[in-house]
Amino acid sequence: MQHLCDEVLQLIFYELPDPSALTLVARRFHRFAQDPYVRAHYFLTHYGPTEAMYYALGRGKLITERVLDILLSSGAHLSRYLIQIAIHHYFHTQAHFIKTPWVRNVPLRVFVYFLKLAEDKYGEIPRGKGEDDGSVFTTFLKESRFPPQMKTVTWENVKEILDTFNDPVMAQFPLALAVEPRLLPYAVANGFHMDYKYRDFVFRKMFERPSPSSETRADDIAHNIRELCKLDPTMFVTRTVAAEVCMEAKANDVGYSALKQLDKSGHLRFSLSNLVEDLLKTFLTTRAICSETTGDVLRHLYSEFQSSDATVRLVILIVVFVSAENLHTDPSVVHSKLEGLGLTPLTKKDAYNILVNPFVERYHNLLDYAREEIGVNEDGTKGMGPKEIRQVVEEVAVKCLEVACKGKFIKKLFDGFPSLQPIIMRLVLEKYQIRLEDVPSWEDGLASRTYVAKLSRDFLRFGVGEVHSKESLLPEANEGDKDDVDPEEDIGRSEDMVGEDRDGDINEDSAALMFDFEAHEGDSRSELGGITQETLTTMIRHDEATPIRLRRRLMYSAAPFDLSGKLHYPHDPVHVGKWAKTQFGVKSSITAIYMTHAVVNDNSHLLHTYTMATDKTFFNPSSHHVPITFKHFQILARLGRAPNFYLFHGIEAGAEFYMDEDDYIANNDQARKLLSNTKIKKESTSDDVPHSPLASPVPRSHKRLRRSATNNIRSYAIPDSDDDAIMYGEHIEDRYEKKKFRASSLQLWIKHLAELLKAEQRKYNEHKRRQEKAAKPGTKIRVGKTSFLKSLGTNLRTLRKIDAEKRQKYNEPDPTTEDYSDDDDKEYTTRSKKRRTT
């Protein structure tokens, strides 16, 4: 360091945040730091010309008259506002935003010299309270919404502050651009750089709804936006801000009119009609569609930008009929509204799409309208007859089984149309049974990871899924041709076509149209900003509530105030699985199917309803709980998924052991009796008799041969009365001897789960050997265990511990002679140390 030249040493000084420690190392460094040129250029290099004078005044002991001269002659920025703040702070007057000694450390003679330089540069400087340039600028912002005759500070005054007195741009200057964009060139001359993060903030303030006393017109707003976009090419109205303006089109007519003027004059980088179309589409799957205020805005936007898109049309139909249900509107009034919006005539497919929407919870108004206005009756009169109404209701009920949050709605359908119950029961048994061989194995990889059961989905975590397919939204080509189509096949075909369309190639015409549109727009939609459902006023209030320092780092379009309107399920929903439990009972074949689907989908909320004890007692057969079966664990083992907590909790609480649902479903189960009668009737009739539209062409077998372990349900229980002993042909004197050898439900669970664990461990070992054999020689591969294998190994140890504690508590010997331990699983057993021999 001692042999460095002054130029290199000077560069080292400039890079240090505080060189004072280096000056104490050697006398040469200390003498070097005393040079006024080095001190002045340290501040210029380290902080830049704009802030050099401010930080130099904060290091008062280093400042001399010579240092000040060098700073000013070398290009340090000295504004009149900085001089005013320094005067106030030095003489202990107002300086609310400075909390450090700052300029008070400057010697008096140096500060007097500083004032002399300031007077030479700017002449007489205002020093009174409220006369500094910062106060004038703040007043200009406060009076921005005042009428012109009431303003005390004009934009010319602010222009003089920036142009003549070289004031640096304040932190709130982006707000000034929203008031007067002509200030931008003068701010840029003083070192202002417009960050794109401020862009939405500026345009929101420009489109802000004016006060009633303000004389701001739509032409003035549009003119200011055009001027600002001319001055800075990075400034343009994004889709985010435009969508927020559209969301308060009725409340902020001035801003909305200005936006339409910009669209007509071509000063928007996107088409406003396409923006409105994309905005309306977002409401199909959000709760905000049920809001009366939001519905009025959506209808207003659609009336001005009518679209041929099927999704947009459905959104407006739902808005109209939800409002009609809430206000109990007469069908004739509803028809006049639809005619005014150009949505008539409606078809049966429209009625179906409206009713299956997750946020439609009542059907009376729509069906009343359908009886009068949709279709043509057999006698030639307008409207749908009872047969067509029943057909639409059946199709809607079938689809609502898979829309998990429609529990309230499907209950109302069952109450209003009792004939639905046998149809739904037969359909659930035929279509939604999950057999073990139909489930993909975890060895298949992607197929098992993406496997989802159609029923019992958790809409609180994953939404309601895909309710409307693309084909179902398309208008019907011929109403009469669709009447004889099986609704189940139609729904399945729609889902298949959606998958093909999603994965298929785009035709040449569509690709050309997309290319032309993107070329005309100029920027991708990601650059133009995303669309939210927030209003302009809401986002402005959010911007104002955000601290200024944090405001510089945030993207404003990504922080809405309220998220409840964007939820993908209705307010106070009821799961269809919960309704099925109440409707059919806990030991029904229908509830058993919903239970299996809930286990596959890991629906914790529904499993809590099915398995948890509400009376804080142990799990017992007489309580209202859906039984847990060994088949549930077999399905999860095949998928390689960890069982839900509630399954093991139910076993720990005393859940009775069943191999599958056939072990506890009674022979007089209503759904299975109905299916059996339907099969017998089909076999006895000729082939010429048409099948039911909701029946499957090839019904599945719902019964299978019983396993030897499940021949008798009562064999799992311990008889505790003389009648039970006589029933089983046992002698009374042998009752207690047999009792101690009869396994409890918990022990049966442990036995079968241990066998399943051993089978899965063997399967994993074989899979691992195949992977190692297929790998290249010398390469080490790591084959992870499935989540099921890890979870079952851990929880099985817990179950064994609970069983041991119970037997120890009641002083019961082990009733089994079979060893349930897993000798093959090396991870869950401890090896005994062998004596080393020589």
pLDDT along the chain (838 residues), means of 10: 66 76 72 84 88 90 92 90 89 75 91 93 86 83 76 82 72 73 76 73 87 81 88 87 92 92 92 94 89 92 91 93 89 91 90 91 91 78 86 92 90 91 89 89 84 88 73 57 41 36 37 36 62 88 63 42 71 89 89 92 90 53 76 91 90 88 82 68 44 38 40 41 42 45 80 92 88 81 86 90 83 55 44 42
- Max Cα–Cα distance, the chain, nearest Å: 121
* CA–CA gap between residue 67 and residue 64 (Å, rounded): 5
Bridge partner residues of 671 (DSSP): none
- Residue 739: per-residue pLDDT: 46
Which residues neighbour 13 within 8 Å (Cβ) at sequence distance 6 or greater? 19, 22, 32, 33, 38, 42
- DSSP labels for 177-213? HHH-GGGHHHHHHTT----GGGHHHHHHHHHSPPPTT
Q: What is the pTM of this model?
A: 0.72
- Residue 820: per-residue pLDDT: 42
Structural domain contains residue 282: no
* CA–CA gap between residue 374 and residue 377 (Å, rounded): 9
Structural domain contains residue 371: yes
* CA–CA gap between residue 84 and residue 613 (Å, rounded): 74
Sign of the dihedral through C-alpha 534, 228, 137, 50: positive
- Residue 170: per-residue pLDDT: 63
Domain count, the chain: 1
* CA–CA gap between residue 219 and residue 269 (Å, rounded): 19
Smallest Cα–Cα separation from 319: which of 292, 352, 300?
Answer: 292
Q: Which two tokens stand for residue 358?
A: 């997750």
542 contacts 560 by C-beta, under 8 angstroms: yes
* CA–CA gap between residue 528 and residue 526 (Å, rounded): 5
252 contacts 245 by C-beta, under 8 angstroms: yes
- Residue 832: per-residue pLDDT: 41
> Which residue range is the domain that position 389 belongs to?
292-503
676-692 burial, b at 16+ Cβ within 10 Å, e below that, comes to: eebeeeeeeeeeeeeee
579 contacts 403 by C-beta, under 8 angstroms: no
Structural domain contains residue 459: yes
User: Angle at the Cα of 171 (from 165 to 172), degrees rounded to 5?
Assistant: 90
Structural domain contains residue 396: yes
Q: Which two tokens stand for residue 210?
A: 């004016």
Which residues neighbour 647 within 8 Å (Cβ) at sequence distance 6 or greater? 599, 607, 611, 628, 632, 633
- Residue 193: per-residue pLDDT: 67
CA distances from 719 to 533, 728, 730, 812 (A): 64, 9, 10, 16
- Residue 558: per-residue pLDDT: 40
Structural domain contains residue 192: no
- Residue 807: per-residue pLDDT: 81
Bridge partner residues of 382 (DSSP): 376
Per-residue H/E/C for 34-79? CCHHHHHHHHHHHHHHHHHHHHHHHCHHHCCHHHHHHHHHCCCCCC
* CA–CA gap between residue 803 and residue 744 (Å, rounded): 9
Structural domain contains residue 186: no
Q: Which two tokens stand for residue 635?
A: 């399905």
- Residue 168: per-residue pLDDT: 67
**Crossing angle of the two packed helices 272-281 and 239-247, in degrees rounded to 10:** 70
Smallest Cα–Cα separation from 40: which of 62, 19, 21, 18?
Answer: 62
Indicate the burial class of 340 (C-beta count within 10 angstroms; 0-12, 13-18, 19 or more): exposed
495 contacts 452 by C-beta, under 8 angstroms: no
- Residue 354: per-residue pLDDT: 92
Structural domain contains residue 499: yes
